[in-house]
Amino acid sequence: MANHPLWSDDYWLLVMQLYQKKPVGVKSEYSHPVVELGLELHIPPKTIREQMRVLERHATPSLQRLWTTYADNPRRLARDVKRLRQMSGFGDPGLFYDGVETTQPFERDYRPVDDSSDITPVMLTIILNLYFELTPNTMVSETPEVLDTASLLGVKPEEVVDVLNIYQTFDPILKRKPLPSSPVNDEAQRLWKYYYNQPELLQNNVEKLKQYFA
């Protein structure tokens, strides 16, 4: 496969450590460790996963040497990964790739939409799916599904309810009064418009996105 423009061969160590993480093997691109490594390197999780597959085959001489050196030596791997992360410029590929955009589109999905809130587009997507599973009178903090979603996302149930209330203002059936424009409101509206007529796509994507919080 063609490497991402921000890829460095030094990153094979990080992919190796991720692959060795129990359960050993190729991890989902939506899993928390893969996404976090992607955010750290500004490289899409899908690419990280594909590189794990390449590593698993270790078909090239260099990858075979890497495998031989580290597969059965986790302490050495951890030591060298730590040393790599301490290198000047690590995690800031812009220092080495002049003119290449380092902030990748996927990163926006996992970053808070507002400085005053921890809510991310991924979280808004999961709550949107919850919205279509509830009725307005059950969109309260005591509802078990709301409690479960809050626990999954690591937020207060009231925060989930606040987002559900935002979605109510977009629902043509309810005819709620629009709320003032805000980063959370605007992002929620964008997601509403994208998924409103694609319930199966929403449900399928949410099942994948939940892996990040598992």
> Cα dist. 100→43, 91, 95, 97, 105 in Å?
12, 14, 10, 6, 13
Q: What angle do CA 75, 79, 84 make, to 5 degrees?
A: 145
pTM attached to this predicted model: 0.89
Domain definitions of the chain by residue range? 9-105, 112-212
Dump the DSSP string for 72-123: T-HHHHHHHHHHHHTSTTTT-GGGTSTTS--S-HHHHHHS-SSTT----HHH
Can you give the pLDDT of all 214 residues of the chain as single tens digits? 457 778 888 999 999 999 999 999 999 999 999 999 999 999 999 999 999 999 999 989 999 999 999 999 999 999 999 999 888 667 665 544 454 455 678 999 999 998 888 999 999 999 999 999 999 999 999 999 999 999 999 999 999 999 999 999 999 999 999 999 999 999 999 999 999 999 999 999 999 999 999 9
Q: Output b/e per residue, 79-115; b: 16+ Cβ within 10 A.
A: ebbeeeeeeeebeebeeeeeeeebebebeebbeebee
**Residue among 188, 199, 147 at smallest CA distance from 166:** 188
